[in-house]
Structure 1
Amino acid sequence: MDRLSVIGVVLALCALVGGSILKGAGLAGLWSPAAFLIVIVGTIAAILVQTSASTFMRAMKMLPWVFRPPEQDHQAVIAQIVEWSTTARKQGLLGLEAQVAEQADPFMAKGLQMVVDGLEPEAIRQMLEIELQGQSERDVAAAKVFEGMGIYAPTLGIVGAVLGLMAVMKNLADPSKLGHGIAAAFTATIYGIGSANLVLLPVGNKLKTLIRAQATGREMIIEGLIAIAQGENPRNIEARLNGYLH
């Protein structure tokens, strides 16, 4: 569990709700079905038009990463690669064949299979880097779904405010409706700016940070597998890979 994300969400809610209460608007002032429909539903509609189905579904699957990031035990990966290197020097590359089926990470299993098959180191690097680049691009595109929503939400908040003010203008003859109408109009602006800056944009940036960290871990795996294929000394491999930890 990512404690910072949890704390951030709690503080965001406290800031929004607490600010509304302290300013005298109260909790009721934050609720407006019309504003919700225009801003939240409208934002979802806009991003659905912009995004492909596969990218949108990937974004939804990645959303839990904000609170439960993918586990990346780099120390354990380095220890595993060093162990493979030692085995390869003693038994040859075929001595690693039994390890392929035991790998939970498809990327590592694929790379190790290439090493066992005796592919040239540069060929291994090229194929794994292509796969890494493709996966990273798909993940970044998914993270940008939330960035896109963060761009659309404030604009739709303004649209909601304008629509609300239009309704107010139609009731100028009835002063009793003016205050409530103006308050409801600005609620849409709060929905738009608040959802963008407290949720959507931070989520997008957090996911991109996690994607970069995951890519760095994959790069470390590639370097380790290439070093095994080249028959490098296990101690040298460990020293090189430890550089990724910093």
Structure 2
Amino acid sequence: MDLTIIIGILAGLAALIGGFLWEGGHFSGLMQATAALIVFGGTFAAVAVSFPASRLRTIPAALRVAFGRGSRSSRDLVEDVVDMSSVARREGVLALERISSEHPDPFLREGIQMVVDGTDAELVRQILELEINAAEQKHEGYAKIFESAGGYAPTMGIIGTVMGLIHVLGSLQEPTQLGPSIAVAFTATLYGVASANIIFLPIASKIKARCEEEIQNMELLLEGIMAIQNGEHPLIVRKKLATYLSEGFSTIPEARGAAHETAD
């Protein structure tokens, strides 16, 4: 599990609640069941109306993407591909069948398997590019659900506040209760704005960041697979794939087993 998102959400809540208590507020003043029901119940209902059931069933998968550790680092993938290219040059692409079958990345496994099966290079690229597009659309769908929740929550908070004020204005014959009742009414707005900006929208942004990371890795692997199929030298493969790393190829250690390769 990625602890940064947990720490971020808890830190945000702690900052809001701590600031409220620091100014002399009481924690019980923030606990309003009716406001929570209106905001969170209304937000859930709005999201349920906005998306088909098939999309709503992806919420657990979206949460796993946001709270999970993410994919393997690009640096590790570069090393794996360079090692495979070295094996392919020494022993032929058929030697990669066993190695690729044990690799944890399904995209790389599938691509190498197509290369081993002798699939045309252009067809391999087309298939893998389609998978990249499908993965990008899937993650965008995940993010849109939480973006929608982040848009609905503040509105539901305002609705809850208006409903509370209607109740307050209907009870003006008790002026002593006017202040506390107004405070309770505005709690709904607090719930809506806080949940949108600390929970829903940050989760959507996290999913987008995960998507960018995964798509970059898939594009890296695509170029590596095509380089292996073309029989390129491991050192050339390394320099080509290093362009996907933010540090650049100058900091990448020499390939395991590729140092002994002789350039053609």
Q: Which residue of structure 2 aligns with residue 195 of structure 1?
A: 195
Q: Which deviations, in whole Å up to 9, do the C-alpha atoms of 1:86-126 show, x marking residues without a partner?
A: 22122222221222421322211111111111122221111
Aligned-residue Cα RMSD (Å) equals: 1.6
The 2-side partners of 1:141 and 1:64 are apart by 14
Letter in 1 for 2:149: M
The 2-side partners of 1:5 and 1:15 are apart by 15
1:1-80, aligned counterparts within 5 Å? 1-80=1-80
Q: Which runs of 5+ in 2 are unaligned?
A: 247-264
Q: Which residue of structure 1 aligns with residue 153 of structure 2?
A: 153
Query: For this pair of structures, how many residues does the alignment match?
Result: 246
1:122-161, aligned counterparts within 5 Å? 122-161=122-161
The 2-side partners of 1:217 and 1:68 are apart by 16
Instruction: Report how far residue 52 of structure 1 moved.
Output: 2.7
The 2-side partners of 1:75 and 1:54 are apart by 36
The 2-side partners of 1:226 and 1:138 are apart by 24
- The question of whether the paired residues in 1 share the 8 Å contact of 2:35 and 2:188 is answered with yes
- The question of whether the paired residues in 2 share the 8 Å contact of 1:21 and 1:27 is answered with yes
Q: TM-score when scaled to structure 2? A: 0.88
Letter in 1 for 2:148: G
Q: Which residue of structure 1 aligns with residue 166 of structure 2?
A: 166
The 2-side partners of 1:213 and 1:226 are apart by 20
The 1-side partners of 2:11 and 2:101 are apart by 45
- The question of whether the paired residues in 2 share the 8 Å contact of 1:93 and 1:118 is answered with no
- The question of whether the paired residues in 2 share the 8 Å contact of 1:69 and 1:210 is answered with no
Q: Which residue of structure 2 aligns with residue 83 of structure 1?
A: 83
Q: Which residue of structure 2 aligns with residue 230 of structure 1?
A: 230
The 2-side partners of 1:216 and 1:55 are apart by 25
Instruction: Report how far residue 235 of structure 1 moved.
Output: 0.7
- The question of whether the paired residues in 2 share the 8 Å contact of 1:164 and 1:185 is answered with yes
The 1-side partners of 2:3 and 2:245 are apart by 22
187-196 or 67-76: bigger deviation: 67-76
- The question of whether the paired residues in 1 share the 8 Å contact of 2:71 and 2:214 is answered with no
Instruction: Report how far residue 3 of structure 1 moved.
Output: 4.7
The 2-side partners of 1:64 and 1:183 are apart by 37
Q: TM-score when scaled to structure 1? A: 0.94
Q: Call closer, same or farther: CA 1:69–1:52 in 2, change over 3 Å.
A: farther
